[in-house]
Chains A and B, each alone.
Chain A
Amino acid sequence: MKIGRIDKGIGVFELDDGSTIPMGEMHVVISTDSYTVHPLFFPGGDIGKLAAVGSINDVVVMGAKPVAMLDAIVVEEGFPMKSLETIMNSMLRVLTEEGVALLGGDVKVMPRGGVDGVVITTTCIGVTDKVITDSGLVPGDSIVISGTIAEHGATIMALQAGLEVEGELKSDCEPLTKVIEIAKSIGEIHAAKDITRGGLASSLNELAEKSNVTILVDEDKIPISENVRVYCEMLGIDPLVLASEGRALIGIPSSRAEELVRELRKAGYRQATIIGRVVDRSRYNVLLETVAGGRRILEKPLGEIVPRIC
Chain B
Amino acid sequence: MEILRKFRDRKLIQAVSKSIEKIAKKLDYVRIMHVCGTHEHTITFFGLRSLLPDNVELIAGPGCPVCIVPAREVDEAIEIVFSGIRVYTYGDMYRVPGTKMSLADARSEGADVKVVYGFNDAIRLHMKDRKKSVFFAVGFETTAPTLAAFISRRLIPDDLMILPSFRLTVPIMKYILSSFDINIDGIICPGHVSTIVGASAWSFIPRISGIPAVVAGFEPLDVMLAVFSILKMILEGKPRLVNEYSRAVSWRGNITAKRYVREVFYRADGEWRGIGRVKRSRLLLRKRFKHLDARSRLSVSVDTGPEFKPGCRCADIILGKAKPTDCPLFMRACTPDRPQGPCMVSSEGTCSIWAKYGGYERIQWHYD
Asked if A294 contacts B51 (CB within 8 A), the reply is: yes
B14 contacts the other chain (CB 8 A): yes
Other-chain contact of B363, A229, A295, A303, A310 (Cβ < 8 Å): A295
Asked if B348 contacts A299 (CB within 8 A), the reply is: no
Answer whether A292 and B220 are a contact pair too, CB < 8 Å, given A233-B1, A303-B336, A309-B117: yes
B358 contacts the other chain (CB 8 A): yes
Q: Which residues of B contact A303 (CB under 8 A)?
A: 335-337, 352, 356
Segment at the interface with A among B41-49, B158-166, B167-175 = B41-49
B281 contacts the other chain (CB 8 A): no
Q: Which residues of B contact A297 (CB under 8 A)?
A: 357-358, 360, 363
Alpha-carbon distance A288/B139, docked complex (angstroms): 33
Alpha-carbon distance A238/B356, docked complex (angstroms): 11
B126 contacts the other chain (CB 8 A): no
| Interface of chain B residues 79 through 98 with chain A (CB within 8 A) | 90-92
Minimum Cβ distance to chain A for residue B329 (Å): 15
Q: Which residues of B contact A299 (CB under 8 A)?
A: 355-358
Alpha-carbon distance A287/B365, docked complex (angstroms): 9
Asked if B192 contacts A290 (CB within 8 A), the reply is: no
Alpha-carbon distance A276/B271, docked complex (angstroms): 48
Asked if A310 contacts B359 (CB within 8 A), the reply is: no
Asked if B364 contacts A293 (CB within 8 A), the reply is: no
Q: Which residues of A contact B13 (CB under 8 A)?
A: 292-294
Answer whether A302 and B44 are a contact pair too, CB < 8 Å, given A279-B367, A287-B363: no
Other-chain contact of A310, B142, B336, B337 (Cβ < 8 Å): B142
B38 contacts the other chain (CB 8 A): yes
| Interface of chain A residues 273 through 310 with chain B (CB within 8 A) | 279, 282, 284, 287-299, 301-303, 306, 308-310
Minimum Cβ distance to chain A for residue B331 (Å): 9
What 0/1 pattern do residues 27 to 60 of A give for CB contact below 8 A with B?
Answer: 0000000000000000000000000000000000
B10 contacts the other chain (CB 8 A): yes
Asked if A302 contacts B360 (CB within 8 A), the reply is: no
Alpha-carbon distance A301/B357, docked complex (angstroms): 9
Alpha-carbon distance A288/B142, docked complex (angstroms): 33
Other-chain contact of B47, A226, A292, A309 (Cβ < 8 Å): A292
B340 contacts the other chain (CB 8 A): no
Alpha-carbon distance A282/B365, docked complex (angstroms): 10
Alpha-carbon distance A293/B41, docked complex (angstroms): 16
Minimum Cβ distance to chain A for residue B352 (Å): 8
Closest B residue to A301 by beta carbon equals B356
Other-chain contact of B8, A226, A291, A295 (Cβ < 8 Å): A291
Minimum Cβ distance to chain A for residue B42 (Å): 9
Answer whether A292 and B8 are a contact pair too, CB < 8 Å, given A230-B1, A303-B356, A306-B347: yes
| Interface of chain A residues 1 through 48 with chain B (CB within 8 A) | none
Q: Which residues of B contact A282 (CB under 8 A)?
A: 364
Alpha-carbon distance A279/B365, docked complex (angstroms): 11
Asked if B357 contacts A296 (CB within 8 A), the reply is: yes
Minimum Cβ distance to chain B for residue A222 (Å): 14
Q: Which residues of B contact A259 (CB under 8 A)?
A: none
Using a Cβ cutoff of 8 Å, how many contacts connect chains A and B? 97
| Interface of chain B residues 118 through 162 with chain A (CB within 8 A) | 139, 142-143
Minimum Cβ distance to chain A for residue B176 (Å): 21
Closest B residue to A287 by beta carbon equals B363
Closest A residue to B48 by beta carbon equals A294
A91 contacts the other chain (CB 8 A): no
| Interface of chain B residues 294 through 325 with chain A (CB within 8 A) | none
B17 contacts the other chain (CB 8 A): yes
Q: Which residues of A contact B208 (CB under 8 A)?
A: none
A216 contacts the other chain (CB 8 A): yes
| Interface of chain B residues 44 through 69 with chain A (CB within 8 A) | 44-51
Q: Which residues of B contact A298 (CB under 8 A)?
A: 358
Other-chain contact of B220, A216, A226, A288, A294 (Cβ < 8 Å): A294
Alpha-carbon distance A290/B224, docked complex (angstroms): 14
What 0/1 pattern do residues 1 to 37 of B give for CB contact below 8 A with A?
Answer: 1001000101001100100000000000000000001
Closest A residue to B344 by beta carbon equals A303
Closest A residue to B118 by beta carbon equals A309
Alpha-carbon distance A250/B134, docked complex (angstroms): 53
What 0/1 pattern do residues 206 to 230 of A give for CB contact below 8 A with B?
Answer: 0000000000100010000010011
Asked if B4 contacts A233 (CB within 8 A), the reply is: yes
Q: Which of A226, A230, A290, A302 has the most CB of B within 10 A?
A: A290
Answer whether A302 and B47 are a contact pair too, CB < 8 Å, given A295-B363, A309-B91, A310-B142: no
Asked if B92 contacts A309 (CB within 8 A), the reply is: yes
Minimum Cβ distance to chain A for residue B136 (Å): 14
Alpha-carbon distance A310/B348, docked complex (angstroms): 8
Minimum Cβ distance to chain A for residue B91 (Å): 6
Q: Which residues of B contact A216 (CB under 8 A)?
A: 367
Asked if A296 contacts B356 (CB within 8 A), the reply is: no
Asked if A290 contacts B337 (CB within 8 A), the reply is: no
Closest A residue to B47 by beta carbon equals A294
Minimum Cβ distance to chain B for residue A213 (Å): 12
A residues at B contact (CB < 8 Å): 216, 220, 226, 229-230, 233, 238, 279, 282, 284, 287-299, 301-303, 306, 308-310
7 new A-B contacts, CB < 8 A, other than A226-B1, A288-B47, are A292-B8, A293-B17, A295-B363, A295-B365, A296-B50, A309-B92, A309-B117
Task: Report 8 cross-chain contacts, Cβ distance below 8 Å, ordered by A residue.
Answer: A290-B220, A292-B220, A293-B14, A295-B50, A297-B363, A298-B358, A306-B91, A310-B143
B residues at A contact (CB < 8 Å): 1, 4, 8, 10, 13-14, 17, 37-38, 41, 44-51, 90-92, 117, 139, 142-143, 192, 220-221, 335-337, 347-348, 352, 355-360, 363-365, 367
* A-B pairs with lowest CB-CB distance, top 6: A297-B358, A294-B47, A303-B336, A296-B47, A292-B220, A292-B46
